[in-house]
Structure 1
Amino acid sequence: MKAITWHGKHDMRCESVPDPKIEAGRDAIVKVSSCAICGSDLHFYDGFMPGMESGDVVGHEFMGEVVEVGKENSKLKVGDRVVVPFTIACGECDQCKRQNYSVCERSNRNADMARKAFGHTTAGLFGYTHLTGGYPGGQAEYVRVPYADFAPIKVPNGIPDEDVLFLGDILTTGWQGAMNCDIQPTDTVAIWGAGPVGLFALQSAMILGAKQVVVIDEVPERLQLAADKGAITINFKMESTVERLNELTDNKGPDKVIDCVGMEAHAPYEAEHFYDRAKQAVMAESGRPHVLREMIYVCRPGGVVSVPGVYGGIVDKIPFGAAMNKSLTFRMGQTHVNKWTDDLLRRVEEGQFDSRFMITHRGSLEDGPELYKTFRDKTDGCVKVVLTP
């Protein structure tokens, strides 16, 4: 079959790889109908994510049709149409019973490697680092889905792929980022990043009843999309984020802040930006945490800092004293996708979420390597890429 594979920094290829096979009784094989390039895919594209191996099949946003099931899989049948969550969850361990699916205790087949890096294992993830299991991903014609009798989301045949594809990651990630804030009707919610996750966090915060939502970015096309959905926007290259947020909140600061950027943040201050880039280049720091620093500084005392943006390891110069003295609450993590999908599928069917407005580029798997570059550089107005195998 054809799949997109990683061979090093900025070296993505569409090539032939072995077809997946049923390996366990709870497995399923899914023929991919649509997949997408995610912002967190750029972490290995740019060479910042440890644990990648040449030839890895990548991608964790995908959906399709079940073409084969293992003998112990009674949930799915051939012909079922499913969205597959990017987090692999067994549904039976202690963490899964608590609905903490992104820290499933069984699904990471490289659990010892994860324990050395994080102290404990986290869940397996599709198409990502071997720290999370090294499972072949969904930017491919077919995918083997482990524990497929639990996580895959069955969707009606009448709904187009592009309306439900993002239930497997970015829609639920934006929703969890907002839900972690416990949004109240009096709240100002500030969101860093007007990419796909930020745009879903914006829609989520408005659905949950925020008084006002502010979105911060530097890309005019993305800020316009956020404004079209009702956000107040700040272009951090054109004005001070801190001053504008204080102006919008009577100098109290936003009540809730959401980091939809993660480890590849850009800073408007040259000294800070070059400091982080230099440390990142020599692997003394794995992420550029400008957004995290700024959120801690501007958040209203007693507020909530929500972090759905992905970080890979060590970050530097976090103003933890400010966070402690301001009594800030931190909530973060990879998304517990299945915790939210029943409710979100209903909301999608009711038209509460708009997915298609952010899809700017479409292509085939063969187009994928070049579209990685377009997506990474944000050229040609690129916001979200969907591929059709």
Structure 2
Amino acid sequence: MRALTWQGKRDVQVQDVPDPEIQEPTDAIVRITSTAICGSDLHLYEVLGAYLKPGDVLGHEAMGVVEEVGAEVTHIKAGDRVVVPFNISCGSCWMCSRGLYAQCETTQVRDQGKGASLFGYTSLYGSVPGGQAQFLRVPQAHFGPIKVPDDGPDSRYVYLSDILPTAWQAVAYADVPAGGTLAVLGLGPVGQFATRIALNQGVERVIGVDLVPARLELARKRGVEVIDLRDVDDVADALIDMTDGRGPDATIDAVGMEAHGSPGAKAAQTAVGMLPDALARPLVDRFAVDRLDALHTAMKAVRRGGTVSISGVYGGEADPMPMMELFDRGVQVRMGQCHVKRWIDDIMPLVLDDADPLGTADLATHLLPLEDAAYGYEIFQAKKDACIKVLLTP
């Protein structure tokens, strides 16, 4: 089959790789019909390459049609249309029984000290081949795949794999009080959905922050107040000024480890990225730093007693944090990988609504064949051609 493989920093290639096969009775094989490039895939393109090896198949946002199932898979069958959650969870362990599917004890990558295995996301998360491919082996398929109707375009459903529940969890963790204000830092795909979900849930005021004109305009069209960070000296001060000198009730960091405005950390990430993998891995594991400008802004802008919700991916182990300020101001912080299936029952009615209240139809700006995946990574990473989201068709 054809699949998108990692070959080195900023080097991904579509190649022929072996077709996947059933290995366990809880497996399924899915023929992929749509697969997206995620913002966190771009971290593999740049920062986290030390944990990949040439030939690794990338991608963790995928959907398609079931081709074959193992003997213990009964809730789906060949011919069913399914979305595949990005985290691999069993549904029955201690963590899963509490809805903490991203911490599944059956698939935890214990030798790396990490949570549930993820599709297409480095040795840190199990080196499981990903979904930017023609076919995908799905472990724990007795629980994971989400069956969806046969009608409707893939774009209606594919975001259930990751970014839609990730945004939903971000808003849930933000816990905006009635009549409150939410500020979302970063208007990439997750940030866009977070603003839409918040407005749909009745949050009175939603403010989005970014510097990419296309992202700002897309959010503005859906009723979001926007701040172009190129137009302000200090985003936190601007947010505080917009909210009676108090700050938003909650903030969401939808940016993560490669934020703009952190030149020192960017230089450190770049230096480590130039080292051989054997030298880079221990440095990342013990001394890694993130570009924290967006996170620090979220923490400094939120009002006293407010909540910071973090959906952007971070990997640092030695990051400086404003602990005295957080403690003094009584700021609550919630974060973590999304527990995808925890939120599906809440989201599905909105996805099935023909009025498309969350705007799944207008998110993807670029629809490309899988063979053009390398180009998709390039324009998404560089924010070229007003690229906000790339969907690939194998």
Whole-angstrom distance in 2 between the partners of 1:364 and 1:264: 27
Matches within 5 A, 1:150-299: 150-239=143-232, 240-267=234-261, 273-283=262-272, 284-299=287-302
1:147 matched to 2:140? The reply is yes
Tell me if structure 2 keeps the 8 A contact 1:111–1:131. Answer: no
Whole-angstrom distance in 2 between the partners of 1:128 and 1:279: 22
Aligned residue identity for 1:276: A
Which secondary structure state, in structure 2, belongs to the residue aligned with residue 88 of structure 1? Answer: coil
Tell me if structure 2 keeps the 8 A contact 1:183–1:209. Answer: no
Which secondary structure state, in structure 2, belongs to the residue aligned with residue 310 of structure 1? Answer: coil
Tell me if structure 1 keeps the 8 A contact 2:8–2:49. Answer: no
Which secondary structure state, in structure 1, belongs to the residue aligned with residue 231 of structure 2? Answer: coil
Map of 1:53 onto structure 2: 53
Whole-angstrom distance in 1 between the partners of 2:304 and 2:47: 36
Alpha-carbon deviation of 1:315? Answer: 4.9
Whole-angstrom distance in 2 between the partners of 1:141 and 1:215: 36
Map of 2:22 onto structure 1: 22
Whole-angstrom distance in 2 between the partners of 1:79 and 1:277: 46
Which secondary structure state, in structure 1, belongs to the residue aligned with residue 47 of structure 2? Answer: coil
Render the CA deviation track for 1:263-297: whole Å, top value 9, x for unaligned. Answer: 01001xxxxx2212122233453421111111111
Tell me if structure 2 keeps the 8 A contact 1:359–1:383. Answer: yes
- Kindly, what percent of the aligned residue pairs are identical? 44
Whole-angstrom distance in 2 between the partners of 1:188 and 1:31: 43
Map of 2:370 onto structure 1: 365
Whole-angstrom distance in 1 between the partners of 2:265 and 2:15: 35
For the aligned residues, what is the CA RMSD?
1.2
Q: Under a length normalisation based on structure 1, what TM-score does the superposition of the two structures give?
A: 0.95
Runs (5+) with no aligned partner, structure 1: 116-120, 268-272
Which secondary structure state, in structure 1, belongs to the residue aligned with residue 248 of structure 2? Answer: coil
Tell me if structure 2 keeps the 8 A contact 1:111–1:133. Answer: no
Which secondary structure state, in structure 1, belongs to the residue aligned with residue 378 of structure 2? Answer: helix
Which secondary structure state, in structure 2, belongs to the residue aligned with residue 14 of structure 1? Answer: strand
Aligned residue identity for 1:237: R
Aligned residue identity for 1:93: C
Which secondary structure state, in structure 1, belongs to the residue aligned with residue 174 of structure 2? Answer: coil
- Runs of 4+ in structure 1 displaced over 6 angstroms? none
Tell me if structure 1 keeps the 8 A contact 2:265–2:289. Answer: no
Render the CA deviation track for 1:24-61: whole Å, top value 9, x for unaligned. Answer: 00100000000000000000101335421211000000
1:131 matched to 2:124? The reply is yes
Whole-angstrom distance in 2 between the partners of 1:326 and 1:159: 47
Whole-angstrom distance in 2 between the partners of 1:140 and 1:84: 13
Alpha-carbon deviation of 1:16? Answer: 0.3
Tell me if structure 1 keeps the 8 A contact 2:365–2:390. Answer: yes
Whole-angstrom distance in 1 between the partners of 2:66 and 2:369: 20
Whole-angstrom distance in 2 between the partners of 1:12 and 1:47: 14
Render the CA deviation track for 1:42-100: whole Å, top value 9, x for unaligned. Answer: 00101335421211000000000000000111111100100000010001110000000
Runs (5+) with no aligned partner, structure 2: 273-286
